[in-house]
Amino acid sequence: MRRMENTMSEQQMKTMPILALRGMVVLPGMLIHLDISREITKRAIEEAMAGDGTIFITAQKDEQVELPSFYDLHEIGVIAKIRQGVKLKDNVVRVMLSTKKRGNMLSVNQTKPFLMGDIMPYEQELDTIGQAEQEAMCRNLKEIYNIYLNENPRAGRSALDKIRRTENLDKLIDLVAMHINMPYEKRQELLECLDLERRYEIVSMLLMEEVNIFRIREAYRNKVKEEVDKNQKEYFLREQMKVIRDELGDSDGEDYVEKYREKLEQLQCSEEVREEVAEEINRLHGIPTSSSEHIVTRNYIETLLALPWDKMSEDKNDIHNAETILDEDHYGLKKVKERILEFLAVRALTNKGESPIVCLVGPPGTGKTSIAKSVARALEKKYIRICLGGVRDEAEIRGHRRTYVGAMPGRFIDGLKKAGVKNPLILLDEIDKVSSDYRGDTSSALLEVLDPEQNRNFVDHYVEIPVDLSEALFICTANSTDNIPRPLIDRMEMISIAGYTENEKFHIGKDYLIGKQLEKNGLKRRQLFINDAALRMIITSYTKEAGVRELERQIGKICRKTAKKILEGEAEKVRVSTRNITDFLGKKKYLPDEANKKDDIGIVRGLAWTEVGGDTLEIEVNTMPGEGELRITGQLGDVMKESAQIALSCVRAMLDREDDFFKENDFHLHVPEGAVPKDGPSAGITMATAIYSAVTKRKVKCNTAMTGEITLRGRVLPIGGLKEKLLAAKIAGIETVLVPKANRPDVEELETEITEGIVIEYVERLPEVLKHAISDTEMRK
């Protein structure tokens, strides 16, 4: 670096505090404000203010250095005078400084607690340049600065008068340099340039470069103006946007708009829908592609264009074909198939898309979902499955409003998009599992969807245009109607699917499941054979369900073990029988729930309904000396506890004993399998019979089971789940079943396969129950 020793030697070297700046360079003649938080800088300010206020300001070479040394600082800086210092919050000091002249840092004498160094002031000599040349330079620089201000209207004009009055070339160059934009490195170069002519050239070149940049921008602006017809304001704005997008490389928006307009021309929809979509496309055209709203609007338009507004598929109304397909896919379920075929027949005769909304109700694994698939295949309809299990947000049904980030349409609109037609078969699976919370009631949102009078104009919050759902065929499935709100039940035609009989499970396993699992596990028919006895043992000893899912899993387990044996070379083909079935499935999981071997006192067999089918349960009653209390165990619900109280009161009133037996004895009623919760009124007559037997010491027939609700006066009321209960009784080997007389119509509708081998006795009052249940026929009146 040129030291200019001949000019500095005449000046007196001074020792003064040093202020190190980071990312900033100041020039002589400036009045600046600095907010200082670094400790060594604050101490340097305090030291300078304690003296005459003189301080040397220079820039750091590396901004990251916290404690700079001599080699971390630029040698050329400015000598400044501190005018004012004020302490602010957060230990920050604000100072006002006036920069005077350039200075050369010769050395740094100390770095702690602040920087102190030897500084040689520098006085610019103007004698080397002639007076006329200096005047010419000053005038030229002022003229270029005026041009700069005219080309850049945003440039500040506060210093214009001061620049016009300044005649000293050295001060003028620094003053102009202060008021033009330049990089940090360029400003340091200008500060270190001690040659006045060179410094003048640098500032002049910077000014001219800025002027050229503004002129190029103006040329682009004029280029756009020349291309656009001045009388068409709208056309001018569009072309200006186009030029800007071309310059930015962001011209894809136009392609999207044209593509959407072509799709709109091909869309089958009403004029109202077409106008709405066209309006959104025009709106998209005016939104910059960099805007977040552009993506939101594009997604919305693509959703509208993907919806099948008036596009329909042609239904196949061949009732015989539908019956064939249902028989191919499902064994049994005669009444269910009849009901579905009736709906399809009415639909074919009326030639209308409207039809009652069917709800298939039954235990898991009984084929509800697969029946819906078969109906779709029979009608050649698109099949859409919407699982409602656990859905608790109303927006899942109606969609989210577009004001929300990440908004999307509801499941029904999304299903129509996937189907591509407005008349698909929509399966609402597990409709009894929907719930509600603070985000809305999902069941209430379904009311509009499942009402044929309202779903013609279904409004999704995202689409905001009415969509016609009346052409869609809705089929719902549920395990129970207990959790479905009453208004929703009123909109659906309930079809009950009870559990399969053991014979039906056998045929389903033999004709459908074995072949399905063989194919799934890569086996051929000749490689695995399961004989009939083994299949029946799987049904009775390894599964306990109303459907056939567990049965299919057990067959799949046998197939996997067979595949392993074949691959390991143990066997070329496998035959499964009752003798070797434990090698594949292990020990038996369930023992047959058989009837007792002998008649007993206080033990009565009852019948129960569960979500996985029917079951039998024993009710036991013991009497013991006490104070007439009734103790109930077995994890019973409130309704079942009340039934026990009613049964005790009914028996006590009927016997009308003269002794104090009921006062001097306690009664303990227990229902085994205490870990399993139980509830319901249908065990009423079973409890009454058990209590009667325990009190009178008369034995109850071991081959008799019963179900029915009892009243205080001994009347027997009807119950539900009769088919499942009779199936459970038949599997347990029960010979006689007592059923409320009011349930006779339900029994008459059952298949002969279920009632065959069982004597069904219809009862109206408790004495009739006791007549059939008690071993000896002599009854205490």
Q: Which residues are designated catalytic?
A: 682, 725
Phi and psi at residue 115, to the nearest 5°? -85, 135
CA distance 659 to 600: 25
CA distance 780 to 695: 11
Q: Are strands 76-88 and 92-110 parallel, antiparallel or unpaired?
A: antiparallel
Tokens for 113, please give them.
Answer: 């607690």
Grouping H, G, I as helix, E, B as strand and the rest as coil, residue 623 is: strand
CA distance 173 to 187: 12
Verify cis geometry, omega within 30 degrees of 0, for the bond prior to 113. Answer: yes
DSSP string, 718-772: --S-HHHHHHHHHHHT--EEEEEGGGHHHHHTS-HHHHTT-EEEEESBHHHHHHH
Tokens for 246, please give them.
Answer: 């071309």
For residue 59, count other CB atoms closer than 10 A to its CB.
21
Question: What's the chain's length in residues?
Answer: 781
CA distance 356 to 358: 6
CA distance 339 to 323: 11
H-helix or E-strand containing 78?
strand 76-88
Tokens for 26, please give them.
Answer: 């100041």
Phi and psi at residue 478, to the nearest 5°? -155, 150
Contact 415, 424 (CB under 8 A): yes
Q: How many CA atoms lie within 13 A of 106 on its CB side?
A: 15
Q: How many CA atoms lie within 13 A of 39 on its CB side?
A: 5
Secondary structure letter of residue 4 according to DSSP: -
Q: What is the CA radius of gyration of the chain?
A: 48
**Of the candidates 204, 496, 449, 454, which has an alpha carbon nearest to the alpha carbon of residue 333?**
496
**Burial degree of 592 (CB within 10 A; 0-12, 13-18, 19+):** exposed
Secondary structure letter of residue 420 according to DSSP: -
Phi and psi at residue 659, to the nearest 5°? -80, 180
CA distances from 762 to 172, 400, 414, 589 (A): 120, 56, 53, 35
Tokens for 444, please give them.
Answer: 């209430």
Helix, strand counts (H, E) of the chain? 30, 26
CA distance 703 to 693: 15
**Of the candidates 481, 502, 503, which has an alpha carbon nearest to the alpha carbon of residue 493?**
481
CA distances from 113 to 22, 87, 110, 413 (A): 18, 19, 8, 72
Contact 611, 364 (CB under 8 A): yes
